[in-house]
Structures are given as C-alpha cells and as structure tokens.
C-alpha cells in the first residue's frame, strides 16, 4: 500500500515566536534563543523535504501580528522558495494574528503557494505522489476578530479525500480567543476527511466520522506557560492510496523547548541540598528530551521548615535562583532556568489543623467556605499557612 504525505502546521507566529523568556535570562541567552527560534520555519521545511511530503498546510497565525517583521518575512520567503524548489505545494490560511487584510506582497510569493482568501472557500486538488487526488480547501480570516463559524463553508465539498484548512476554536477553548468558533459535532458532520486546524497551541488529534480533526499546536513553544511547554512541531499526515488518512504523526520542529518543573522540598532540611534535588529533576527532564535547549520554569513546592523557601523575599528568591543557576549549566547545556518560584509552606497538617479550634484552623475553615478560584485559594492558603503556621 503506497502512501503519500502532507505536512500540517499552524500557529507559527513568525516574527515573534517567543512570548516570554522569564525574568532572569541574560541578553546573551536571549539572543541565542532568538537566533535559534528564527530557524524554526527552516526546520519545518527540512522536515517537509525529508519526509517528501506532497504539500504543506499552514493553518493560520503564520505571523504573530498583522504587521510582520521584515526579517521573519524574509526567512519565510526563503523557506517557501525551498519548498517550491522541492516541488512541494503550500496551502496557507490566515488567522487572527495575521488576517488576510495585509500580507507580504503577493507578487513575492513563489508559484507553489496557495493563499486561501477570506470569507469564501477556496479549494484545489492535489494529485499526491501515490496518485490519490486530494482536495485541499480553506478559508482565511478577513479580520482579527473573526466571530463567524466558518465550518459551514466546507459543507458542500465533495471528493474522495478532502483536507479542510481552518483557523478555529473548536469547542470554545477558554485558553484562547473564541474566534471562528466551531464544535466537534460540526466537524464530525462535515465531508472533510482531515481537518487541518490552527489556533489552539496544545496539540490534539481527534477522530471524526470521516477521518480526523487535529491541532498540531504551535510550531515553537513561546513561554513557560503550561500550554507552551513540551514538544512542539508539526503533524505528518499520510494518505493511503485508497484515499484514507492515517492517524497523524507528530514531528518536533521547535528550536528550543519550554518546560515547567516542580521540585518537592519535603525531604530537604538544609537549604544547601536544594540544588541536588533540582539537578536530579532537571537531569530527568533532559534525558527525556530531544537534545534541544530546554528553558525551564522551576517551582519549589512542598512543606519545609526552611524559612528561605517558605517566605522568600524577592531578593532572597533571586539569590536562590542564582545559586541554582550556578550548577545547572552542566545539566542543561544550552538550556536555562528562566524562572524560579517557591510556593513552599511550613510543615503543617492542614487536614488536622482544619479540625482544631486554633486561629489557623479557623482561617483554613474560613478559606474553605469562600467561593473563589482554586488557584487563588491555594495561594492564599499558602500565604496564611506561612503567616500563621510557623508561629503556632
């Protein structure tokens, strides 16, 4: 059974692939990371060429902003040219970050690039290397706040294998703006065999009645925010010669990887031993990684008698971070700890304390009775346990 492949990527955010590099990375490191992430589209092109895909789908937010960065434009253009030279077609949709209203001059785009227009669906048939005809259809945002559901535009498509390209928020993901909102049911009901979606930065692959709907996630993690951490890259989609589409395969393209790492200090009774625990945890992360530079948000958690960890001042936390950073070079290589936080509390049995008629017990019970965000409650609890717990 011969298969042909295409590459599905989205949310490249070229020009501004990073959102945050923490609060303690020096300029040299920033420059290094920026230089690396500037190669991320090059990596996508490398994957496309290596995988010998027949076409590439870019499902919106190729640029980070409506107005692009000149350098990013140039790198993007060079990548498109390489794909053109490799005979790989490119289908491009614009999302909320780079709506169609402005783009790089069309005349500059190589002939292999198809840009989906706004408001109306454009479809084009590609004959794959295995002879399968695949219809690639998509639509771009005509404005940043695209609030219309665009899925219905795909309802009348016909063909054996249809790839729908769309920048959309499926199911109203609260982490992202609810642009071009759609539902799983709508996707499932459509004739599209593979929904090449963009907008949500967390990768997800989901089956439909006719095939799959998938977010490849963004091409490059942008910060230590949870949704930006972990492997980032593209999906390689294989089309069998009968036109059916296999479950997409993830290929990491990111130039650096962001990770969140919590290190427990429950068993640590000396501040000097914190580094050991951190180094061990970092080593585990690195060993699981792909060899990319890893940028870590480190949070020390747990219960401790160490005041330095329970109630650090900004200055003492900065010193602690510096001490930790002194040793992590050997473990992280080109990576770095970009942020250090401590949310440790005194050694208090909160369950038992809640049942006591102490001030802290009253406080905990009072907190339990307040309706608020869990994260806020947890943080307030830590604050109060730190304030009262040590003096019980």
Partner 1 sequence: MKQLRITGVQGLTFGRHDGRTIDGFDAPFVVVHGLNESGKSTLAEFLVWTIGGPWRTFAQNTDAFRRSPDGVVFGRFLGVLDDDVIDLDSRFELKKAGTPKDLRKGVIGLHEVDPTKFADRLGSLTAADYKTIYRLYGADLGDLGSADAFSDLFSRFALGTATGGTSPRQSLDVLRRDLLAAKRDLSGLNTRRKEAERQIKEASAVPDRVAKLEEDERALAADIQESGTLEGERAVRKALFERVKAGHAHLESLQRERATLDALPVFPAAWEAAADNFASIAAIAGGLAGAARAADAADGAAVVAVATCGLERTSLAGQTLSGPERLALTNAVSSVVSAGDEVAASAADLDDAMKQLNEATAAVDDLCRALGIDNEQLSELDSVGGSLDTVDGRIQRWIEDSNKAIDARAELEAERARRANLGVTTPAQASRPALDPRLVAVGVVVVAALGIVHWAAAIVAGLVLAGVLFLGRKDTVAPAPATDNGRLAELEGKVRGADQSAAEHRALIKKSLGGLDFIVTDPDTAHGRIVGLKHLVAQRLRAAAASSLVNEARKRAEAAPTALLAAESAAASLLAPRGIPMTVVNGAFDSWLLDYEEAVKSVEASRIARDKVDGLRAQFDEMIVGIRSEFAGMTPEAIVTRLSDVRDQVGTRRKAVAKVHEEQLKVTGANMDAAEVHEVLAEYPTLAELAVQIDLLDDEIAHQRARRDDLISRRTDLVRELDDLRATEVLAGLALTRGQIDEDLVEAEAKVSALELAYDVLGDVIDTYERDNQDPVVATASGLIAGVAPEWGSIIMSRNEKGEPVIERHGPEGRLGEHVISDGGRALLYLGIRLAFAAKDAERRNVSLPIICDDPLVHFDDDRQLAAVQLLSRLSSDHQVVLFTCEERTRDYAASLGAKVIAI
Q: Establish if 20 lies at the interface with partner 1 (CB under 8 A).
A: yes
Q: Establish if 225 lies at the interface with partner 1 (CB under 8 A).
A: yes
Contact yes or no for 212/205 (Cβ under 8 A): yes
Supply the Cα-derived Rg of the chain in whole angstroms: 25
Nearest-angstrom CA–CA distance, 5 and 237: 5
Q: Establish if 318 lies at the interface with partner 1 (CB under 8 A).
A: no
Which part of the chain contacts partner 1 (CB under 8 A), choosing from 180-188, 247-255, 273-281, 381-389?
Answer: 381-389
Which part of the chain contacts partner 1 (CB under 8 A), choosing from 229-237, 301-309, 348-356, 367-375?
Answer: 367-375
Which part of the chain contacts partner 1 (CB under 8 A), choosing from 50-58, 106-114, 262-270, 363-371?
Answer: 363-371
Nearest-angstrom CA–CA distance, 236 and 220: 16
Interface with partner 1 (CB under 8 A), residue from 21, 109, 263, 309: 21
Q: Establish if 107 lies at the interface with partner 1 (CB under 8 A).
A: no
Q: Where are the alpha helices (DSSP H) in 86-227?
A: 184-189
Tokens describing residue 385: 């346990």
| Residue number with CB closer to partner 1 (89 or 297) | 297
Least distance (Å) between residue 363 CB and partner 1: 5
| Residue number with CB closer to partner 1 (155 or 376) | 376
Interface with partner 1 (CB under 8 A), residue from 3, 42, 65, 275: 65
| Residue number with CB closer to partner 1 (205 or 390) | 390
Identify the burial level of 365 via C-beta atoms within 10 angstroms of its C-beta, where 0-12 means exposed, 13-18 middle and 19 or more buried.
Answer: middle
Nearest-angstrom CA–CA distance, 375 and 368: 13
Least distance (Å) between residue 388 CB and partner 1: 6
Least distance (Å) between residue 35 CB and partner 1: 11
Interface with partner 1 (CB under 8 A), residue from 96, 112, 218, 223: 223
3-state secondary structure 7-18: EEEECCCECCCC
Least distance (Å) between residue 258 CB and partner 1: 11
Nearest-angstrom CA–CA distance, 90 and 115: 8
Q: Establish if 72 lies at the interface with partner 1 (CB under 8 A).
A: yes
Least distance (Å) between residue 382 CB and partner 1: 8
Q: What's the Cα-to-Cα distance from 66 to each of 63, 87, 217, 259, 275, rounded to whole Å?
A: 7, 29, 20, 28, 44
Q: Establish if 350 lies at the interface with partner 1 (CB under 8 A).
A: no
Least distance (Å) between residue 107 CB and partner 1: 15
Interface with partner 1 (CB under 8 A), residue from 6, 8, 9, 17: 17
Contacts of 125 (CB under 8 A, 6+ apart): 133, 134, 135, 136, 159
Q: Which residue from 122, 114, 171, 180 is spatially nearest to 151, judged by alpha carbons?
A: 180
Contact yes or no for 90/41 (Cβ under 8 A): no
Which of the residues 32 through 51 are near partner 1 (CB under 8 A)? 34
Q: Establish if 77 lies at the interface with partner 1 (CB under 8 A).
A: no
Interface with partner 1 (CB under 8 A), residue from 224, 254, 278, 306: 224
Least distance (Å) between residue 30 CB and partner 1: 8
Q: Establish if 322 lies at the interface with partner 1 (CB under 8 A).
A: no
Q: Establish if 275 lies at the interface with partner 1 (CB under 8 A).
A: no
Contacts of 345 (CB under 8 A, 6+ apart): 302, 303, 304, 310, 381, 382, 385, 386, 389
Q: Per this entry, what is the length of the chain? A: 392
Interface with partner 1 (CB under 8 A), residue from 69, 177, 240, 334: 69
Interface with partner 1 (CB under 8 A), residue from 287, 291, 370, 374: 370
Q: Which residue from 243, 242, 235 is spatially nearest to 213, judged by alpha carbons?
A: 235
Contacts of 135 (CB under 8 A, 6+ apart): 123, 124, 125, 126, 157, 159, 161, 162, 163
Which spans of this chain sit near partner 1 (rule: CB under 8 A)? 15-23, 30, 34, 64-72, 222-225, 359, 362-363, 366-367, 370, 372-373, 375-377, 379-380, 382-384, 387-388, 391
């Amino acid at each position: 059974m011969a298969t042909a492949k295409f590459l599905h990527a989205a949310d490249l955010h070229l020009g501004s692939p990073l959102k945050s590099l923490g609060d303690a990375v020096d300029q040299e490191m920033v420059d290094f990371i920026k230089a690396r992430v500037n190669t991320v589209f090059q990596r996508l092109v490398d994957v496309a060429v290596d995988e010998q895909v027949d076409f590439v789908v870019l499902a919106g937010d190729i640029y980070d902003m409506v107005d692009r960065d000149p350098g990013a434009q140039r790198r993007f253009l060079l990548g498109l040219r390489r794909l053109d030279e490799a005979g790989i077609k490119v289908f491009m949709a614009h999302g909320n970050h780079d709506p169609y209203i402005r783009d790089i001059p069309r005349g500059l785009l190589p002939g292999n690039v198809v840009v989906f227009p706004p408001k109306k669906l454009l479809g084009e048939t590609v004959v794959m290397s295995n002879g399968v005809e695949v219809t690639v259809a998509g639509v771009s945002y005509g404005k940043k706040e695209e609030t219309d559901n665009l899925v219905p535009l795909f309802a009348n498509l016909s063909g054996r294998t249809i790839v729908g390209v769309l920048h959309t928020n499926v199911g109203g993901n609260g982490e992202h703006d609810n642009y071009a909102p759609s539902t799983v049911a709508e996707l499932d009901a459509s004739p599209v065999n593979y929904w090449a979606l963009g907008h949500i930065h967390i990768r997800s692959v989901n089956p439909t009645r006719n095939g799959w709907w998938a977010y490849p996630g963004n091409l490059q993690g942008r910060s230590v925010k949870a949704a930006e951490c972990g492997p980032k890259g593209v999906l390689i989609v294989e089309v069998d010669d009968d036109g059916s589409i296999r479950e997409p395969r993830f290929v990491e393209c990111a130039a650096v990887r962001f990770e969140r790492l919590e290190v427990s200090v429950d068993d640590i009774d000396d501040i000097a031993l914190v580094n050991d625990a951190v180094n061990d945890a970092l080593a585990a992360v690195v060993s699981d990684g792909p060899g990319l530079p890893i940028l870590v948000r480190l949070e020390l958690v747990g219960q401790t008698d160490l005041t330095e960890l329970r109630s650090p001042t900004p200055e003492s936390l900065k010193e602690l971070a510096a001490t930790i950073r002194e040793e992590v070079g050997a473990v992280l290589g080109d990576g770095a700890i970009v942020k250090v936080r401590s949310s440790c509390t005194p050694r208090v049995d909160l369950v038992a304390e809640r049942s006591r008629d102490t001030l802290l017990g009253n406080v905990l019970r009072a907190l339990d009775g307040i309706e608020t965000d869990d994260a806020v409650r947890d943080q307030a609890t830590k604050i109060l346990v730190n304030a009262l717990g040590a003096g019980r």
